[in-house]
């Protein structure tokens, strides 16, 4: 056992040294290597077509509403940003100006205002995940209607998870009034979970890593907290119990600030965790392309590939844990905040 371990260490050190010497050979040529950043950012951003692999992509419909006219066309009409679409008196094109804030977005040349309701990659992925959720959870709930003795199949797999969310997250944090909020919290848990997990599959869209999506989810929590808060909650904002009067000028702005920072932190936490995970995975795969200088140095590429794939596998397992954990944390913190808002005064 000890002999094989030391042999393994020596062989891996030799591999590492040989790989490093190949890197040294590339650096002496003093030219810009392959920059993986644009590709990585392209993969985690939203887009008007669903890029699968190589040059295979599914074009998605672009739906624009401008001054009473619905302009609907496929995104392939843009020809990767080279063509302009002329419908009536409106000319649409993809903005190529690197300095403008609407870079890579659809603009209208005659400065007409339009609303962009397109089915982008994230929207299409959300529709798919919603249909998947409806199918899975619908099948589970129909199983309960049949009133069989013991659940089997999909039902038996989901029942512990649903019970865990309801007992440990919702009931224990909200208390007696948890019935009203169970629907929302269970939905948010499964929505975030399935979108996190789907985002890890090849060719998937980065839904929960899109800040607009997480903004809407945290907005739901904020609205629910605000509209279900009882008088005790608002009184606690103005006068937190147990603070000396001298501290009130500091506590009141902090408490009011806290009303907004708590949902804001929910949004940023989910967005940054998922996006950072995807960026790490893409960066480690890009190591292969950086080492082989985008196809020039095949030997270096092949020698880095096993190390890169091993690291990516390790990060992937962590990302599956993060997918569950982030869904759990979002639901848990939403339940805690709702519980704080509806808590009965205990004297």
Q: Judging by DSSP bridges, how do beta strands 56-59 and 61-66 pair with one another?
A: unpaired
CB nearer to other proteins: give 87 or 276. Answer: 276
Task: Tell me the C-alpha distance between 57 and 90, whole Å.
Answer: 27
Site for other proteins in 229-268 (CB under 8 A): 265, 268
**What does residue 68 show for φ and ψ, rounded to 5 degrees?**
90, 0
Residue 206 touches other proteins, criterion: CB under 8 A: no
Residue 45 touches other proteins, criterion: CB under 8 A: no
Return the residue of 276, 305, 315, 340 that touches other proteins, per CB under 8 A: 276
Token pair 């408490």 in the structure block, residue = 255
Stretch in the footprint of other proteins (CB under 8 A) among 58-66, 73-81, 104-112, 270-278: 270-278
Q: Which residues, in sequence order, are bridge partners of residue 49? A: 59
Stretch in the footprint of other proteins (CB under 8 A) among 99-107, 132-140, 286-294, 327-335: 327-335
Angle, helix 248-291 to helix 298-341, in steps of 10 degrees: 160
CB nearer to other proteins: give 104 or 112. Answer: 104
Site for other proteins in 287-326 (CB under 8 A): 325-326
**Closest CB 270 distance from other proteins, rounded Å:** 9
**Closest CB 6 distance from other proteins, rounded Å:** 31
**Closest CB 283 distance from other proteins, rounded Å:** 12
Residue 272 touches other proteins, criterion: CB under 8 A: yes
Task: Tell me the C-alpha distance between 92 and 110, whole Å.
Answer: 9
Return the residue of 107, 297, 328, 343 that touches other proteins, per CB under 8 A: 328
Q: Is the CB of residue 62 less than 8 Å from the CB of residue 84?
A: no
Residue 344 touches other proteins, criterion: CB under 8 A: no
Residue 269 touches other proteins, criterion: CB under 8 A: yes
Q: Is the CB of residue 62 less than 8 Å from the CB of residue 120?
A: no
Cβ neighbours of 198 (radius 10 Å): 19
CB nearer to other proteins: give 316 or 328. Answer: 328
Q: Is the CB of residue 119 less than 8 Å from the CB of residue 60?
A: yes
Torsion sign across C-alpha atoms 55, 123, 216, 206: negative
Show Cβ contacts of residue 285 under 8 Å, excluding neighbours closer than 6 positions.
Answer: 308, 312
**Closest CB 225 distance from other proteins, rounded Å:** 17
Q: Which residues bind other proteins (CB under 8 A)?
A: 168, 265, 268-269, 271-273, 275-276, 325-326, 328-329, 332-333, 336
């Amino acid at each position: 056992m000890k002999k094989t371990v030391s042999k393994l260490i020596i062989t891996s050190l030799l591999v590492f040294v040989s790989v490093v010497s190949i890197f040294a050979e590339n650096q002496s040529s003093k030219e810009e290597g392959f920059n993986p950043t644009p590709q990585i950012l392209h993969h985690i951003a939203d887009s008007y077509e669903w890029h699968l692999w190589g040059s295979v992509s599914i074009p998605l419909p672009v739906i624009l509403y401008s001054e009473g006219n619905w302009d609907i066309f496929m995104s392939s009409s843009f020809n990767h940003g080279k063509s302009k679409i002329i419908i009536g008196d409106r000319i649409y094109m993809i903005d190529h100006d690197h300095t403008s804030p609407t870079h890579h977005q659809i603009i209208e040349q005659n400065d007409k205002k339009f609303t962009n309701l397109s089915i982008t990659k994230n929207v299409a992925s959300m529709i798919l995940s919603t249909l998947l959720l409806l199918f899975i959870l619908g099948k589970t709930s129909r199983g309960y209607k049949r009133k069989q003795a013991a659940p089997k199949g999909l039902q038996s797999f989901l029942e512990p998870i649903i019970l865990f969310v309801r007992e440990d997250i919702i009931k224990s944090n909200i208390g007696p009034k948890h019935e009203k909020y169970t629907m929302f919290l269970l939905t948010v848990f499964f929505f975030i979970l399935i979108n996190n997990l789907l985002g890890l599959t090849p060719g998937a869209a980065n839904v929960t890593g899109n800040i607009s999506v997480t903004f809407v989810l945290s907005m739901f929590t904020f609205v629910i907290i605000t509209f279900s808060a009882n008088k005790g909650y608002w009184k606690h904002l103005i006068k937190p119990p147990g603070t000396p009067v001298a501290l009130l000028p500091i506590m009141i702005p902090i408490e009011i600030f806290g009303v907004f920072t708590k949902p804001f932190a929910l949004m940023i936490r989910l967005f940054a965790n998922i996006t950072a995970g995807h960026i790490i995975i893409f960066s480690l795969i890009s190591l292969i392309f950086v080492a082989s200088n985008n196809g020039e140095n095949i030997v270096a590429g092949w020698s880095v590939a096993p190390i890169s794939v091993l690291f990516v596998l390790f990060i992937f397992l962590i990302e599956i844990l993060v997918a569950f954990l982030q869904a759990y944390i979002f639901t848990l913190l939403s339940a805690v905040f709702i519980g704080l808002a509806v808590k009965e005064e205990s004297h």
